[in-house]
Amino acid sequence: MRLLSFSLSTYAVSALLLLLLGSGTSAYQDFANPELRLLNSNDFKSKTTKGMWLVEFFSPRCPHCRNFFPTWKDLAIISEHLEDSSSFYMAQVDCEAQGDLCETNDITSYPNIQLFKDGKMVEKYNGDRGFGTLKAWINSKAEGYRREMATNQQSAQAGQQQKQ
């Protein structure tokens, strides 16, 4: 009888571990979602050189990153229209796969959200990571960049008209 109870409890623990590992694996695989833009050491600099880029540096094994992932995914999808209207892009860097890139960007904790403007890191986001707060912040940054681009374009046109 004692042997039977040991076997059942061992089976229950094994089943629970498989269930937990299975859910962790699917969350890990979700980070490779084709709807999201992943940057790597080969394209990070060339992509972020033009426009405004909000980049999440993450580790697939980080529980905070896994919890934040649905929010990031929803924000990236809902903010996609900003690419055309404001040259505002969202991307991720997997620090497990791109350790050198994360080290270059001084990433010491996850998830780490940084804003790049025309190739330079201009701000680390340390605010609330709720959907509404981040959405408002993203819209504000995109609008500011759109206005700055419009002003620069007007100045360039005025300068060309003066030369003529």
Q: What is the pLDDT of residues 67-84, one digit of tens each?
A: 999 999 999 999 999 999
Buried b (16+ CB within 10 A) or exposed e, 83-115: eeebbbbbbbbbbeebeebbeebebeebbbbbb
Q: How far apart are CA 64 and CA 117, in angstroms?
A: 26
Residue 162 clears pLDDT 90, i.e. is over it:
no
Confidence bin at 18 (pLDDT 50/70/90): very low
Q: Is the preceding omega at residue 111 within 30 degrees of 0, hence cis?
A: yes
pLDDT for 95-122, tens place per residue? 999 999 999 999 999 999 999 999 999 9
Q: Are 93 and 44 in contact (CB under 8 A)?
A: yes
pTM score, whole prediction: 0.78
Q: Return the CATH number of the domain spanning residue range 31-154.
A: 3.40.30.10
What pLDDT is stored for residue 24 in this prediction? 42
Three-class DSSP category at 106: coil
Q: How far apart are CA 110 and CA 65, in angstroms?
A: 7
How many angstroms separate the Cα of 92 from the Cα of each of 16, 107, 146? 32, 13, 22
How many angstroms separate the Cα of 64 from the Cα of each of 32, 70, 84, 123? 17, 11, 31, 21
